[in-house]
Amino acid sequence: MKVDVIGLNRPKIVILGAGYGGIMTAVRLQKDLKVDEADVVLVNKHNYHYQTTWLHENAAGTLHHDKTRIPIADCISKSKTTFVQDTVVKVVPDEKRVILANGELTYDYLVVGLGFESETFGIKGLKEHAFSISSINAARMIREHIEYQFAVYNNEKERRDERLTLIVGGAGFTGIEFVGELANRVPQLCKEYDIPREKVRIINVEAAPTALPGFDPELVEYAMNLLESKGVEFKIGTMIKECTPEGIVVEKDEKVEEIKASTVVWAAGVRGSDIVDESGFETMRGRVKVRKDMRDPNRDEVFIVGDCALIINEETNRPYPPTAQIAIQQASTVSHNLTSLIRGKQELETFTPDLKGTVASLGEGEAIGVIFGNKKIFGRTASMMKKVIDNRYLMMLGGIPMVLKKGKLKMF
């Protein structure tokens, strides 16, 4: 079955994925293009967009997943954008075709925003035995799994300690934000299931010599002190060598230790989509090193955004992290350049990240961050700024109604 959408000799733009880069490209095109200038098709396997930066809260159980997902119908105009709910199987760029699970599409211009997948770095057993905070459904599984461990604890005689040992692999932003939410959630679970708080262990394992590698040391110290005061144990400079059905095997200073646990959550690395790898693009861990105008290096009609795009910071000679902030900015450039091409203009805009700052939450009412270049913020001030950033994105996506419906309006 062919799922084509045909206009009257109008160029067709197909957007793959409704993550930050994909959905914002669609929203921007609706504003930049006139109705009769192009046919815009958005493809996504779910009928919703979700806030990836809120998934750690869903996984811990401190925010319901319905708050995190946003119906695509609330973001796009049916008169300007056609939504196709289907799973992308493969792109055939030489034929300008996209193969879907239930059909196929052709395109004149393609925007690839297929998101990320967990990177296990070859660690044995991680894929089989560890959870990953990678989607709404994955976060929901983690929450339900953790709650089940608490629910059965008082009815068991064996492996009881393992039930209440929660291991988080990775102390980057996702790992730190997740243990911050767990530190808030665990006392609630203990009260609900009549379990002493001291029975629960939250262990954060990081191979680097510090948590939040590359972040301001003073803010890292603040975060670690705060989380340790809430019962989080850090194992820094410690490598996970293997994940087993019983827990993990770690190594530090050539000493090997086994930590038994019923819950292991891997939050230490992401890569681009396997579909990009398998579709013949030149990739590095599922990411395409794009040109300055966000196009594929070998194909003028293909743009790459979000986690699938690799952009080198010329000052550090290292890739920019694939953050929501950058993906949203990329969408603006891609929409502008697509509009220019459709109108016959050949001079395209260069994408330059405009980093406003970075804020990491540490649980309700607590956060750390660097904004406006080098201003350090922490505590409730940083937590309020995190909510302002989240609400600003919702404003860009769907205006005031979206903020009222999905926003975090309680600042303190």
**Token digits of residue 22:** 């994909």
Edge-to-edge strand list for the sheet holding 367-371: 357-361, 367-371, 375-378
Helix (H, G, I), strand (E, B) or coil at 57: helix
| Catalytic residue of the set 119, 156, 162, 177 | 177
pLDDT at residue number 359: 94
Distance in angstroms (rounded) separating the CA atoms of residues 22 and 6: 21
Amino acid at 43: V
Task: Please check the confidence at residue 4 and state whether its pLDDT lies above 80.
Answer: no
For 221, half-sphere exposure in the C-beta direction (CA atoms, 13 angstrom radius) is 4
Lowest mean pLDDT among 108-112, 224-228, 287-291, 313-317: 313-317
Please spell the DSSP secondary structure of 135-187, one letter per residue: SHHHHHHHHHHHHHHHHHHTT-SSSHHHHTEEEEE--SHHHHHHHHHHHHHHH
- At 13-36, the pLDDT tens digits run 999 999 999 999 999 999 999 989
The verdict on whether 177 is a catalytic residue reads yes
pLDDT at residue number 350: 96
At residue 3 the predicted structure's pLDDT band, cuts being 50, 70 and 90, is low
Cβ-Cβ contacts under 8 Å for 328 (sequence gap 6 or more) = 20, 21, 24, 393, 396
Residue with tokens 């060598």: 241
- At 329-376, the pLDDT tens digits run 999 999 999 999 999 998 899 999 998 889 999 999 999 999 987 899
The burial of 270, by beta-carbon neighbours within 10 Å (0-12 exposed, 13-18 middle, 19 or more buried), is given as buried
pLDDT at residue number 26: 98
**Helix spans in 233-378 (H):** 274-278, 324-342
